[in-house]
């Protein structure tokens, strides 16, 4: 950012034109995008799926170590993740931002560069939004729209006793990435001469700053003919999401500690932070992996996909939600997910 | 508000359950609402219309004189107004809020009371959202979803030379309501003993604090067989919106000062504030009336609806956008609308 253009020099409508002039549409259903009172979307016998997120500076992200481009990418990824978690395909997004006068046009361009990169990655069209000044800080609101064949969406309420409990990818890395960046920030604030030590931590930092939504898993389901009986995305931590899923479905679950997928770099980072890798996998937030259940009959359809792990099975509600530890003991699973309200 | 329940005592998920436990659905198309990763909406050969707004405390509203219940109502009204401005029917909304720990559960209940009242008024279903803590202030993001028969939506780009320029309701009152409340706030801050003097100002204050979206106008169009050639809702002021409409449609317009619909209370308030009522009608924001154009052939269909006023006609682009004053002079119309970016 060698130049700095004041947002006021463009005006609100000039700014919107500037930020949206390179929009490309990926969906035939997008009839009308930015530039009128509302966007218009056509449907071809599909059902519409909608999700929205509100992200506030200082609560959900820290711009002192979050590049704006990554923040833009993550905003979209996190939102479409909710659409995938319904077994649906995201098609459009609406994006609103509020920002103080400390943001230049160049800074907003960086943010939108990430937004557009994610739109291209996930095949969604940016069709509307709102821009406004804020008194302080950066405010982001993103709404994702998706489509699904009638009644093919997957809720978090359909898990049945005997179903296999599965998770995509690996868990706990984003939380350790956050611990690392918070530590480096504290060190840097105390002593600005010391450069951040991120050597060998690329994986966990990347998982926090640039998560990917699991488009590939939904596509795999479609190809393999699998329809999960229930599904939820992991934003607040495995424990918290599993409890939601079990409560919603009126079931219990048995989770195996030794089955939890944890990346080697996550284990190494947990060790450095004197944390238990298992605890990070259970309670760390922002992994954006998919937690889902399938009928036992569908097990063979999983085939050799090594990015899906069976981590347990569904039980009666009376059995509760339990963790079977490596040591052979059973512990009740409790919600320790990131609870933004807790910071209120 | 005699009681105060801390939000933290409910937790995030308890709060969502609390705020959404009385949700009623008004639309058969609402298949799945709050409580999963995303909402699901069915379609019956309709096209979907989407709009979103981001409202920030201190920029868009001042809680020192805005009752939370009215703010909730207005949030929904303002958002569905954009859907009506597409000649579409709003069906669902998504609502996200961020709030600091100065807000109690009772305060949020008041806000949602207004939200649900507006949902019932406009027949829309609240189907999702996000709640989060904020470091400071109240943040609101609302997305409205509507439906329209294929290709029956009305953009701001279809006005043609010779079309009649029309507006619903009356203009300028909300702006004067704001001037009044800001003045009373200043007086009160300087001298808290002096009670606000809102005698006889109910109309202009009501127009600011509790605007209605013009559902009735869209229903009238459907009944009368009128399809406007272009339409936009007036949130930033008549001048600003008319310039958008003319730019979008590639036309000019002639606007008659003597035709501008202005309420008697608005004129009286303008006089008290040493303002020109015409200037308030042209530049005051937040009226949320509909500005639209119709073909001359449709004039008779307007019949005796006394809440629609023909205020001018569409001209060639070369003629520009002009105001024909009561004194018989022509002035170019310039944008003086509320430009939130200008305050950045």
Do strands B125-133 and A30-32 pair parallel, antiparallel, or not at all (unpaired)?
unpaired
Separation between Cα atoms, residue B198 and residue B269, nearest integer Å: 11
What is the distance in angstroms between the Cα of A290 and the nearest Cα belonging to chain B? 11
Residue A90 is predicted with a pLDDT of: 93
Q: Which residues of chain A lie closer than 8 angstroms to B156, CB-CB?
A: 36-37
**Chain A (207-236) residues lying within 8 Å, Cβ to Cβ, of chain B:** 231-233
Separation between Cα atoms, residue B189 and residue A179, nearest integer Å: 45
| Binned average pLDDT, 10 residues per bin, chain B of 344 residues | 77 79 79 77 83 94 95 96 94 93 91 94 91 92 92 92 98 95 90 79 94 96 95 94 95 97 96 94 94 97 90 97 94 66 31
Q: Across chain A, what does the average pLDDT equal?
A: 90
Cα angle B293, A128, B84 (rounded to 5 degrees) comes to: 35
A96 band by pLDDT with thresholds 50, 70 and 90: very high
**Inter-chain touch B42–A38, beta carbons under 8 Å:** no
| Closest residue, chain B, to A233 (C-alpha) | B37
Residue B200 is predicted with a pLDDT of: 77
DSSP B28-89: TTEEE-SSSSSEEE--SSPEEEEEEEEEEBTTTB-TTTS-HHHHHHHHHHHHHHHHHTTT-E
**Inter-chain touch B96–A43, beta carbons under 8 Å:** no
Separation between Cα atoms, residue A242 and residue A167, nearest integer Å: 11
**Chain B (66-95) residues lying within 8 Å, Cβ to Cβ, of chain A:** 82-83, 85-86, 88, 92, 94
Residue A7 is predicted with a pLDDT of: 81
**Inter-chain touch B133–A39, beta carbons under 8 Å:** no
Contact A52, A79 (CB under 8 A): yes
What residue ranges define each of the domains in chain A, with the CATH number in brackets?
29-148 (3.30.1330.10), 163-332 (3.90.650.10)
Q: Which residues of chain B lie closer than 8 angstroms to A128, CB-CB?
A: 50-52
Task: Dump pLDDT digits (tens) for A282-310.
Answer: 999 999 999 999 999 999 999 878 799 99
Task: Dump pLDDT digits (tens) for A49-75.
Answer: 999 999 999 999 999 999 999 999 999
DSSP one-letter code for B98:
E
**Inter-chain touch A12–B341, beta carbons under 8 Å:** yes
Q: Cite the beta strand spans of B278-328 per DSSP E.
A: 290-294, 308-315, 321-324
What is the distance in angstroms between the Cα of A95 and the nearest Cα belonging to chain B? 8
Whether B243 and chain A come into contact, CB under 8 Å, resolves to no
Count other Cβ atoms within 10 Å, centred on residue B157. Answer: 18
Residue A38 is predicted with a pLDDT of: 76
Q: Which residues of chain B lie closer than 8 angstroms to A60, CB-CB?
A: 132
Residue A336 is predicted with a pLDDT of: 65
Whether A148 and chain B come into contact, CB under 8 Å, resolves to yes
Residue B336 is predicted with a pLDDT of: 66
Asked whether residue A1 carries a pLDDT value surpassing 50, the answer given is: no
A278 is an annotated ligand-binding site residue: no
Q: Which residues of chain B lie closer than 8 angstroms to A47, CB-CB?
A: 31, 40-43
Task: Dump pLDDT digits (tens) for A185-212.
Answer: 998 888 888 777 777 789 999 999 999 9
Count other Cβ atoms within 10 Å, centred on residue A58. Answer: 15
Separation between Cα atoms, residue B101 and residue A281, nearest integer Å: 30
Separation between Cα atoms, residue A29 and residue B70, nearest integer Å: 36
B286 is an annotated ligand-binding site residue: yes
Whether A12 and chain B come into contact, CB under 8 Å, resolves to yes
**Inter-chain touch A38–B85, beta carbons under 8 Å:** yes
Average pLDDT for residues A91-114, to the nearest whole number? 92
Per the structure block, which two tokens stand in for B40? 């699901």
Residue B303 is predicted with a pLDDT of: 87
| Closest residue, chain A, to B150 (C-alpha) | A42
Better pLDDT: A85 or B193: A85
Whether B144 and chain A come into contact, CB under 8 Å, resolves to yes
Unique residue bearing structure tokens 């939200």: B115
Report yes or no for ipTM above 0.90: no
Burial label for A201, CB within 10 Å (0-12, 13-18, 19+), is buried
| Closest residue, chain B, to A100 (C-alpha) | B344
A51 is an annotated ligand-binding site residue: yes
Please choose, from the candidates A341, A124, A57, A54, the residue with its C-alpha nearest in 3D space to the C-alpha of residue B54.
A54
**Nearest CB to B38: which of A82, A131, A344?**
A82
Contact A227, A190 (CB under 8 A): no
Residue A342 is predicted with a pLDDT of: 32
Asked whether residue A338 carries a pLDDT value surpassing 80, the answer given is: no
Residue A208 is predicted with a pLDDT of: 95
Average pLDDT for residues A142-152, to the nearest whole number? 90
Contact B152, B231 (CB under 8 A): no
Average pLDDT for residues A269-288, to the nearest whole number? 94
Asked whether residue A260 carries a pLDDT value surpassing 60, the answer given is: yes
- How far does CA B20 lie from the centroid of its chain? 24
pTM for the model stands at 0.90
Residues facing B146 on adjacent strands: B49, B90
**Inter-chain touch B52–A129, beta carbons under 8 Å:** yes
């Amino acid at each position: 950012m060698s130049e700095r253009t004041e947002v006021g020099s463009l005006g609100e409508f000039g700014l919107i034109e500037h930020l949206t002039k390179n929009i490309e549409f990926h969906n035939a259903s997008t009839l009308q995008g930015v530039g009128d009172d509302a966007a218009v979307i056509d449907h071809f016998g599909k059902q519409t799926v909608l999700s929205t997120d509100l992200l506030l500076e200082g609560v959900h992200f820290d711009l002192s170590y979050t590049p704006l481009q990554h923040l833009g990418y993550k905003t979209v990824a996190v939102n479409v993740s909710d659409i995938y978690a319904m077994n649906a395909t995201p098609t459009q997004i609406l994006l609103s931002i509020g920002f103080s006068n400390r943001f230049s046009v160049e800074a907003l361009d960086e943010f939108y560069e990430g937004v557009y990169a994610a739109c291209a990655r996930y095949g969604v069209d940016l069709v509307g939004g709102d821009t406004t000044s804020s008194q302080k800080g950066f405010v982001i609101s993103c709404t994702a729209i998706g489509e699904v064949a009638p009644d093919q969406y997957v809720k978090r309420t359909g898990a049945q006793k005997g179903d296999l409990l599965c998770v995509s990818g690996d868990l706990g890395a984003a939380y350790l990435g956050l611990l690392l960046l918070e530590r480096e920030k504290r060190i840097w604030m105390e002593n600005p001469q010391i450069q951040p030590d991120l050597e060998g931590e690329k994986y966990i930092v990347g998982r926090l700053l640039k998560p990917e939504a699991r488009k590939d898993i939904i596509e795999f389901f479609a190809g393999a003919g699998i329809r999960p009986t229930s599904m939820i995305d992991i934003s607040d931590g495995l424990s918290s999401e599993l409890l939601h899923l079990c409560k919603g479905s009126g079931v219990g679950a048995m989770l195996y500690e030794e089955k939890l997928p944890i990346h080697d770099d996550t284990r190494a980072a947990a060790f450095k932070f004197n944390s238990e890798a298992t605890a990070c996998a259970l309670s760390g937030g922002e992994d954006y992996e998919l937690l889902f259940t399938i009928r036992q009959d569908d097990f063979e359809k999983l085939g050799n996909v090594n990015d899906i792990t069976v981590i347990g099975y569904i039980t009666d509600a009376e059995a509760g939600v339990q963790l079977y530890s490596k040591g052979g003991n059973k512990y009740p699973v409790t919600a320790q997910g990131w609870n933004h309200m807790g910071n209120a």
